[in-house]
Amino acid sequence: MTASPATQSPSALGARTLAVALRTEADGPVVLCQPVTEGDLFDLYAEVWLATCLRKGHPEAPLDDLRVRLVPVLEKGHDSLCLGLIIEGVGPDGATARHAFPPAAFEEVAWRASQELIRAGQLKSGDLYFYDVVIDRRPVAELTLARSAASPAPFTVTARPTPLARLSVPLPPLVERAEAVGDVGEPWVPVFFTRAALEKAERFARRGALAPQPVETGCVLVGPLCSCPSTGEFFVVACEAIELLEAEGTEYSLTYSGATWAHVQATVRAVQAGPATHSYRIVGQAHGHNFPPHFGEKKCGECDQQPTCTLTSVFPSVADRRWTRAVFARQPWAICHIFGITARGGHAQALFGLRHGALAERGYYVLPDFAPPEAT
């Protein structure tokens, strides 16, 4: 069983519990208080791990060893309503860093609460709901007992931790050779594509647009995680794109089948068989939103006056966010590249990465090529 990062005791939360309070009307009463579980916080811990350990020259430090402290940020004049959550992480060198997460980082907890309300008949699928992050004042013992009763362990699971495979690669020479696309500055971990991988990713993502009835298609992105020996910076290089074979694409969805995953994993294993590429891994995915923006909405009223069209189908959908959390659990370096179209019919694309517990648009570098050194 995977251990959780050590929470310093006493935490600023003390014996209280963080929860998401759900309303069915913006100003209505709270209808359900859903506890935030330790599992809900793992991706947030992973972001802190990335900033506190991986990007500080300690790529060998496992997430499980990260010491964290949770500090709720209370709304002024309230004793339970939170503006967000600060997670303080202590790196291997003893330095403490604080990372703030807004309520949006808890959207999956709110979604879980909404599913309970749908099952109870208090909410219908498609209804709007509203949520706040709060400190739950119910007795902790009550919550602890409820959770224990709900999750007996039916078998034994023993973690087999392996060090994070990465390459030692000087970063400055790569940046000098690369072309920057979009915002590549802080707070983002550098991401590089080789030009060949980026072109392949776009071709695979847009292949579905050529179908008589356009569908979503895509690929996984493969390459090494790297640590710079001089700056300590951690970064990602995507240097291969593996097309999704036998995936089930529709106009608005893309499902990996068993055969798709089998092909992807066999291809990755073949890449890992090479002496210089044995640390290569799946670092992200790309797919095409091959549908008009806003599901077929016409052009903007001011279209003729705009030099470029900003109405596009490029956005991380709820399904994209949920898929990324599931596939790349506790992998804060994961990337999601979406290729779409504009209202004028032109091409648009953007890269998204994990930031504040959500997928946010970010920049990247394009390299002419990448030659991996021997793995560390």
Q: In whole angstroms, how close is the CB of 198 to other proteins at the nearest point?
A: 19
Residue 115: what are its φ and ψ, rounded to 5°?
Answer: -65, -35
Q: In whole angstroms, how close is the CB of 357 to other proteins at the nearest point?
A: 12
Residue 108 or 243 with smaller CB distance to other proteins: 108
Question: Which of these, 12, 15, 11, 13, lies nearest to 138 by C-alpha position?
Answer: 15
Q: In whole angstroms, how close is the CB of 256 to other proteins at the nearest point?
A: 8
Q: In whole angstroms, how close is the CB of 180 to other proteins at the nearest point?
A: 27
Q: Which of residues 199-228 bind other proteins (CB under 8 A)?
A: 216, 218
Residue 156: what residue type? T
Q: 69, 206, 325, 337: which one contacts other proteins (CB under 8 A)?
A: 325
Query: What is the C-alpha separation between 152 and 263, in angstroms, rounded?
Result: 35
Q: In whole angstroms, how close is the CB of 22 to other proteins at the nearest point?
A: 15
- H/E run at residue 52: helix 38-52
Q: Tell the residue number behind the tokens 């509203």, with chain if given.
A: 130
Residue 174 or 215 with smaller CB distance to other proteins: 215
Query: What is the C-alpha separation between 171 and 173, in angstroms, rounded?
Result: 6
Q: 30, 33, 195, 261: which one contacts other proteins (CB under 8 A)?
A: 261
101 binds other proteins (CB under 8 A): no
Residue 351, SS3 per DSSP: strand
Q: 55, 69, 206, 287: which one contacts other proteins (CB under 8 A)?
A: 287
Burial pattern 213-223, b for ≥16 Cβ within 10 A else e, equals ebbbbbbbbbb
DSSP 8-class letter at 279: T
Residue 174 or 197 with smaller CB distance to other proteins: 197
Query: What is the C-alpha separation between 193 and 368, in angstroms, rounded?
Result: 9
Q: In whole angstroms, how close is the CB of 324 to other proteins at the nearest point?
A: 9
Chain-centre distance of CA 67, in angstroms? 21
Question: Which of these, 85, 64, 102, lies nearest to 13 by C-alpha position?
Answer: 85
Residue 194 or 313 with smaller CB distance to other proteins: 313
Q: In whole angstroms, how close is the CB of 112 to other proteins at the nearest point?
A: 6
Q: In whole angstroms, how close is the CB of 327 to other proteins at the nearest point?
A: 6
Q: 313, 331, 342, 349: which one contacts other proteins (CB under 8 A)?
A: 331
Q: Which of residues 139-198 bind other proteins (CB under 8 A)?
A: 151, 153-162
Question: Which of these, 268, 222, 235, 220, lies nearest to 166 by C-alpha position?
Answer: 235
Residue 84, SS3 per DSSP: strand
Q: 282, 314, 341, 367: which one contacts other proteins (CB under 8 A)?
A: 282
Segment interacting with other proteins (CB under 8 A) among 8-16, 36-44, 141-149, 354-362: 36-44
Q: Hey, what are 186's tokens?
A: 């802080």
Residue 105: what residue type? A
Residue 16: what residue type? R
Q: Which long-range contacts (CB under 8 A, 24 or more apart) does 106-112 make?
A: 106/20, 106/36, 106/40, 106/131, 106/133, 106/357, 107/131, 107/321, 107/358, 108/40, 108/322, 108/325, 109/19, 109/20, 109/34, 109/36, 109/40, 110/20, 110/22, 110/34, 112/34
Q: 100, 180, 211, 262: which one contacts other proteins (CB under 8 A)?
A: 262
Q: Which of residues 110-129 bind other proteins (CB under 8 A)?
A: 111-112
Segment interacting with other proteins (CB under 8 A) among 9-17, 106-114, 233-241, 339-347: 106-114
Residue 178 or 351 with smaller CB distance to other proteins: 351
Query: What is the C-alpha separation between 243 and 258, in angstroms, rounded?
Result: 14
Q: In whole angstroms, how close is the CB of 77 to other proteins at the nearest point?
A: 33
Q: 168, 255, 306, 310: which one contacts other proteins (CB under 8 A)?
A: 255
294 binds other proteins (CB under 8 A): no
Which residues of the shown chain bind other proteins in the complex (CB under 8 A)?
A: 1-2, 4, 38-39, 42, 108, 111-112, 151, 153-162, 216, 218, 248, 252-256, 258-259, 261-263, 265-266, 268, 281-282, 285, 287, 317-320, 322-323, 325-331
